[in-house]
Structure 1
Amino acid sequence: MREPGDPGPEIVVVTGMSGAGRSTVGKVMEDRGWYVIDNLPISLLPDLLHISAEREGKLVGDSPVKRIGIVLNVRARGFDTLAESIRLLTERGWRTHLIFLDATNEALVRRFESVRRPHPLRGTGRLLDAIVREREVLADLRATAESVVDTSGLNVHQLSRKVGPLFMTGSDERLRLAVLSFGFKYGVPLDADFVFDMRFLPNPFWVPELRPHTGRETRVADFVLSQPGAREFIDGVETLMDPVIAGYLRENRRYVTLAVGCTGGKHRSVAIAEAVAARLSSDEVTTFVVHRDPGQE
């Protein structure tokens, strides 16, 4: 029997647009000790959790399984009932979370063309039409997701770094705050909860000796942070985020994305993102930085 106060296994369902990186996320979960099941028919989900509860969370050998990941695509049997199944499981007391992976249509087209695999909804039509159709089918599910992760412009390693903190455990890591640098010329991240624009600062691109370098290097970071308004901006972000973070902690929210942009995503946004992440890190908040666009030029 489950001990009093034991919440039982934690269930994370990962779904989203085809080509948005579900397999990569599944591998990240496995690397972090999650028991991952790919494309489980939705009708079997309650049975899986019932077995888990009956066996005190033991699904594999004698090892207790407290963290179960279920990776689903739109072709999974009974997919249209997923939102209702998650709602019912939550009502029954399971710790169930939904993560939705998204990407721009342009990014998805490039990925399918590069791997030459058929889109699950393509049929005999155009690839872009299938992507648009899938986006329509998933719109309501996306709206109910606890976390939406934009994978546009991220390679496998960047995506792994971005989603890794979602699957960390520990009472001292109640909120995971991603600080994402990006270039406006390559598009605003779809999953950003907050977006800040660094184009009010002088651009190191126009300083010949700084142009080849990124904001992670001391010479560029020093230049950016020495500009009028830079440190005041970081102070302002801290002041703004303090009550927001406190509210998220009260509501048990586990993942937030703060995006910092400049023109190309190489100098100003990178330096400021690093500084903001360092400032917002605390005993209650784990911050990490993802730089999306250096190397795009």
Structure 2
Amino acid sequence: MRTGLLPRAVAVLLTGMLLASCAAQDEPIGSYPSRSIDYVVPFSAGGSTDIAARAAAEALSDELGVPVNVINKPGADQIIGVSSVRSAAPDGYTLLADGAGSSSIQGLLPYLPYDWSDRTFVAKFAQGPHVYVVGGDAPFQDYDAVVAVAKADPDHFTVGWIGGSSTSDYATLQFLAGNGIDAARVKRVPFRSSGEVMRAVAAGDIDFGAGGASSAFSLHTTGKLTAIALTGDTHVDKLPGVPTTVELGHPDLDMQYWVGVSGPPGIPAGLTGKLADAVGAIAEDPDVAAQLAAVGLSPTVRTGDALRAEIHDETNRFTALSERIGVAG
């Protein structure tokens, strides 16, 4: 007799969930938001994405008039956090702190259990360069010297490698490919985070590392690391005097670290536009800019078709880079 109860209960539960989802989607756009919003960060607390997301959440709470709660869901190359948002109702109340590592680079992962592009991209609000570093006591202390050593003996040149959907790895691949260094011969030493890579470079355990600019701040300040370049054309206040790759004549070495807002697939265009407007407004807030600067980022807004085109272009470039030099993952 009891065996029929479970399927019936599941059916009732699923029906209730479906009705709740439909009711949420039927909320008039003018009434949105009428309750708190969850902003999922697919990393642990304390990193650059988390800090940027918390700055945005606080400002968005004021802009939208409802609490915006940051929820950390790290793990599995950001798949856990992304999956939790993708499966949520497309009602604008569950959003993702998105970035290249959780979107465009994920498209290169062979084990990804979903289509990385199947989501609603709302807006990018922050962006910053990666930094290339060597040890403070290393015999090579500038960009050209590092390139010369790596090209002369790639078999004994060691670089930090995080794997998965790490933007730092693609910054490293750009450095190798852009300078004619045989990436297949370079030794990739595995680490779990950019912070670990920076500490290993400072200790002299590896020759070279890359990471978001803030990952090098403290060790560079104390002289344990030497920052030899920032990717792209943007300087960072906390790394004074460090040249950009554009200034060094390598404009193609432009891997950026960005943070934005996305949501489940199917969020109505009206809600997306309202959210994008709010994100654009907070990017002009001086307090937000100051908090972003503390982690090497600056306000950078991209929305709508321009954002989607930029992200798809990233994926195409990352794919071409991996195929060109035969190194990925």
TM-score computed with the length of structure 1 as normaliser:
0.25
- Structure number with the bigger relative contact order (C-alpha 8 A, sep ≥ 6) is 2
TM-score computed with the length of structure 2 as normaliser:
0.23
